[in-house]
Amino acid sequence: MNNLLSPGNLITVAGGVLTVVGAVAYGSGNANLSLPTIFYGIPILLGGLALKSSELPPAKRVTPASQLKNERAAGAPELAKLLSDVTRWRYGQKAHLESSLEALKLWDEDEPPQLLEIEELHGSSGYGLRLRFERGKVPLEQWQEKQERLGRFFAKGLQAQITALGSSRLDLTLLPATGEHGQQ
C-alpha cells in the first residue's frame, strides 16, 4: 500500500485525471473546462512520470515508528536523522545513503549496495540502528575494513558491527560504544 502512495504516483494520477477530464470536456465542446485542465494536466502528468522514473522507495522499517519514540529522542540525534532520511521517498539517487557510502569508499557505480531494511534497537548500551544491505558488487572484506570508521562516520560515540548474512547481504549495527571513551 505504501508503494501506491508515493509522491510520483500521486502526481502522475492527478495529471492523468486532469488530462482525461480536459480531453472529455474538449470532445463535448466545453472549452471553459477543457482549456485549463489540459494545459495543467499534461505538464503535471509529465512531471509525475519524471518523478516515477527516478524514484527510490523507502527502506523497510522493521520497528514501528511509535515503539521506541522515547529512546530515539534520548539517543544520538544523528541516528534519528538517519532513520528519517532512509524511511522516506528519494528521487534522483541510485541507493539510500549514496553520498555516505561513496565517502566511505563502499560504493560500486554499476551495482551499488542497497539498503533493504532498518530496525531500531535498544539494549544495555543504549539506542541504535540495524541496517540490512544487499552488498551489490562491494565485497564483504571492504565493509569489514571500514568497520571501525563506520561507527564514527554516522555519529560520535557509535560502534559499528558488521554481520555477514549469506553471500550477498550484511547487517550493519550501530550502537553506542561501551566503556568510558564511548559514553556521551
**Is pLDDT of 144 > 50?**
yes
33-57 average pLDDT score: 91
Note the pLDDT tens digit of each residue in 76-96.
Answer: 899 999 999 999 999 988 889
- Judged against a pLDDT cut of 90, whether residue 143 lies above it is answered with yes
In this predicted structure, what is the pLDDT of residue 3? 61
Q: How confident is the model at residue 149 (pLDDT cuts 50, 70, 90)?
A: very high
C-alpha to C-alpha distance for 129 and 141, rounded to whole angstroms: 21
Whether residue 129 contacts residue 161, with contact meaning beta carbons closer than 8 Å, is answered with no
Task: Write phi, then psi, for 51 (nearest 5 degrees).
Answer: -65, -45
b/e map 161-184, b = 16+ CB within 10 Å: ebeeeeeebbbbbbbbbeeeebee
Which regions of 62-168 does DSSP assign to beta strands (E)? 90-91, 114-123, 126-134, 158-165
pLDDT at 184: 42
Q: Which is nearest to 150 in space by CA: 168, 178, 121, 177?
A: 177
Which residues, in sequence order, are bridge partners of residue 128? 121
Q: What integer pLDDT is reported at residue 146 of this predicted model?
A: 92
Is the CB of residue 75 less than 8 Å from the CB of residue 127? yes
Express as a percent the part of the chain with pLDDT over 70: 95
pLDDT tier for residue 180 given thresholds of 50, 70 and 90:
very low
Evaluate whether 127 touches 176 at the Cβ level (below 8 Å): yes
Local structure of residue 106 (DSSP, 8 states): -
pLDDT of residue 4: 66
pTM surpassing 0.85? no
47 and 21 Cβ atoms separated by less than 8 Å: no
User: Does the pLDDT at position 182 exceed 80?
Assistant: no
pLDDT in tens, 91-122: 988 889 999 999 999 999 999 999 999 999 98
Taking 90 as the threshold, does the pLDDT of residue 135 lie above it?
Answer: yes
The residue extents of the domains of the chain are: 2-53, 56-176
Q: Which of 1-5, 10-14, 16-20, 93-97 has the lowest mean pLDDT?
A: 1-5
In CATH, the number for domain 56-176 is: 3.30.980
